[in-house]
Chains A and B, each alone.
Chain A
Amino acid sequence: MAVLALSLPRRAPSVIPGFGPTLGFTLAYLSLIVLLPLAALVIKAAGTTLEQWTAILSDPRVLSALGLSFGGALAAALINAVFGLLVAWVLVRYPFPGRRLVDAAIDLPFALPTAVAGIALTALYAPNGWLGRLLEPLGVKVAFTPLGVVVAMVFIGLPFVVRTVEPVLHDVDLELEEAAASLGADRLQTFLRVILPAVLPSLLTGFSLALARAVGEYGSVIFIAGNLPGVSEIAPLLIVTKLEQYDYVGATAIATVMLAISFTLLLAVNLLQKWRRAQMGG
């Protein structure tokens, strides 16, 4: 590895030592921990025959699980886009007592282990839970339904939107808002025409990060989902089920489809943002 690093082309001359060893270690560690295991997935997927692929991907249970993971994640990311923007707006614009504490609490879903979040949300939304008890008479069932899946995904995705929008909202030029007001725009028009376009790229980034996280989410979802095959079973759980039955081919196929769609989504959003930035002239 070190040899490979030293032979890398064209690095600018520097008096600082240690290029070879540090880059060599970096590449070796990256290859061993990340690239080699991911390659095992690709190799396994490449060894799967066309008939196997068709059989797996036409299985209604697989399609339903993929549909729930992506559909639920999309719904949760949309909810997070709206409420995440609201929370970021309030935190940046309106001073209120305890604001710093609230701001620190936003990262709770990052810090709280997913299994803990999962059993806590289930306890809240189960028919005899604090919130489930209130919703039951209204005919709304959250725990052990697809709605529960979305609730868990909202929890896990919220900080992504708030944390990407917050700094941009902070930097919106107040003079632009004053100019809009002096030209006769009311607050809503200023928000829609001046502020929203400025934060839209960051909102889109936060949305796609929340979406990507929710698609693959496992721990916080499986407790509240009820995991009824074809109804409230998410794709990651189906991977686990297939593995427990030693169906490596099935597990690999679902994982490959999930990764392919996720990477395409993230790439599309990246390209969209580059294009937008080019449109806006940097």
Chain B
Amino acid sequence: MSASSTRETPPVRWGLTLLALAFLALFLVAPLVAVLAEAFAKGWDAYVRALSGDDTWSSIRLTLIVAAISVPLNVAFGLAASWAVAKFDFSGKSLLVSLIELPFSVSPVISGLIYVLLFGLQGLLGPWLAENDLKVIFAVPGIVLATVFVTFPFVARELIPLMEEQGREEEEAALTLGASGLAAFWLVTLPNVRWGLLYGVLLCNARAMGEFGAVSVVSGHIRGLTNTMPLHVEILYNEYDFVGAFAVASLLAVLALVTLAVKSALEWWHRDELAAAGH
């Protein structure tokens, strides 16, 4: 059987390739180029000036703080959940895994709304919080909670299939040879899943720093206090400060590009050590 029987003619091949590339250029490349073009529309000086405002710096600081709290929390959760799910058999396991993925199918705005319903002034715990002078909504704790919610599945989803694939023999061998459970985890399990963990952390961090909808609902948009970078982009944009908005947006775009580059590098060099599912 000649190869031509399972291949398209060159004109068809080139036609389809060009059509696909044109679609990607229109929907992926053009927006990215637009961000940079708009950010530098009035030159380098205007760009630097746009980034040096106090409100911009406080939004950068808040974004870093929120990511620095929510990512480690979800890493701890991901490690615990994947250990429980992959190393033991128990009833209700598939339900647990589905529940872990649940936040991905909830709209970002609804992710924020549920915390307002719980902690807001009219919320279930609102009166109690007000009595004790605690503020969650329109404050940093609410922003952290909403971010933890939307990034909840990233690390666990990466580690669970990976640990399941690797089985239990290596840990069992370590334990039989006298290692403690914690030692087996640190010396056997963690090195086996390190690239998958890094992969999960990378995606979790990108979403944590870039989340807009959920954070927007709980933040209250108080300048200098509860504004993250994506929220600051919105405020500047709505004030017609386009260079400012796109300048802050360009920083987030660079974060996205770095994330993609590291992700591709991980997939290229450590494909075997990442979970089989999903990539």
Q: Which residues of A does B touch, CB under 8 Å?
A: 8-12, 14-19, 21-23, 25-27, 29-30, 33-38, 40-41, 43-44, 83, 86-87, 89-91, 94, 96, 100, 102, 104-117, 119-121, 123-124, 129-131, 154-155, 158, 163, 174, 177-178, 181-182, 187, 190, 212, 215-219, 223, 236-237, 239-240, 243, 246, 248, 251-252, 255, 258-259, 262-263, 266
Q: Are A124 and B34 in contact (CB under 8 A)?
A: yes
Q: Are B110 and A216 in contact (CB under 8 A)?
A: yes
Q: A11-B90, A41-B114, A111-B256 are in contact. Are A216 and B109 (CB under 8 A)?
A: yes
With an 8 Å Cβ cutoff, the count of chain B residues facing the other chain is: 102
A12 CB contact (under 8 Å) in B89, B122, B148, B217: B89
Q: Are B83 and A104 in contact (CB under 8 A)?
A: no
Q: A212-B105, A216-B109, A255-B113 are in contact. Are A130 and B30 (CB under 8 A)?
A: yes
Task: Give the dominant DSSP class at A's interface.
Answer: helix
Kindly supply a per-residue 1/0 record for chain B positions 33-47, scoring 1 wherever the CB is within 8 Å of any chain A CB and 0 otherwise.
Answer: 011001000000000
B194: which A residues are within 8 A, CB to CB? none
Task: Name which residue of chain B comes closest to A12, CB basis.
Answer: B89
Output the least CB separation between A73 and chain B (Å).
Answer: 11
Q: A87-B23, A94-B16, A219-B230 are in contact. Are A40 and B107 (CB under 8 A)?
A: no
With A113-B212, A113-B230, A243-B217 given, name 15 new contacts (CB 8 A).
Answer: A22-B84, A26-B85, A30-B77, A30-B99, A34-B102, A109-B28, A111-B260, A113-B210, A129-B34, A131-B26, A181-B5, A217-B108, A218-B109, A236-B213, A240-B217
How far, in angstroms, from A117 to B28 measured CA to CA in the complex?
10
How far, in angstroms, from A139 to B175 measured CA to CA in the complex?
72
- For chain B, residues 49 to 89, give those with C-beta under 8 angstroms from any C-beta of chain A: 73, 76-77, 80-81, 83-85, 87-89
A116 CB contact (under 8 Å) in B6, B91, B148, B252: B252
Q: Can you show 23 pairs from A to B with CB atoms below 8 A apart?
A: A8-B92, A10-B91, A18-B185, A22-B83, A26-B85, A30-B99, A94-B16, A102-B21, A112-B253, A112-B256, A120-B34, A120-B38, A124-B34, A154-B27, A181-B6, A216-B108, A219-B108, A219-B213, A239-B109, A240-B216, A243-B217, A252-B113, A255-B113
- Asked if B158 CB lies within 8 Å of chain A CBs, one says no
Q: Are B89 and A11 in contact (CB under 8 A)?
A: yes
Q: Are B35 and A18 in contact (CB under 8 A)?
A: no
Output the least CB separation between B72 and chain A (Å).
Answer: 13
Q: Are A114 and B84 in contact (CB under 8 A)?
A: no
A266: which B residues are within 8 A, CB to CB? 105
Q: Are A89 and B246 in contact (CB under 8 A)?
A: no
Output the least CB separation between B260 and chain A (Å).
Answer: 5
Q: Are A18 and B149 in contact (CB under 8 A)?
A: no
Q: Are B28 and A163 in contact (CB under 8 A)?
A: no
Q: A86-B16, A163-B279, A236-B213 are in contact. Are A246 and B88 (CB under 8 A)?
A: no
B124 CB contact (under 8 Å) in A33, A40, A113: A40
B73: which A residues are within 8 A, CB to CB? 29
- Asked if B132 CB lies within 8 Å of chain A CBs, one says no
Task: Name which residue of chain B comes closest to A156, CB basis.
Answer: B27
- For chain B, residues 160 to 175, give those with C-beta under 8 angstroms from any C-beta of chain A: 168, 171-172, 175
Q: Are A23 and B90 in contact (CB under 8 A)?
A: yes
A16 CB contact (under 8 Å) in B1, B87, B116, B245: B87
How far, in angstroms, from A217 to B212 measured CA to CA in the complex?
10
Q: Are B17 and A96 in contact (CB under 8 A)?
A: yes
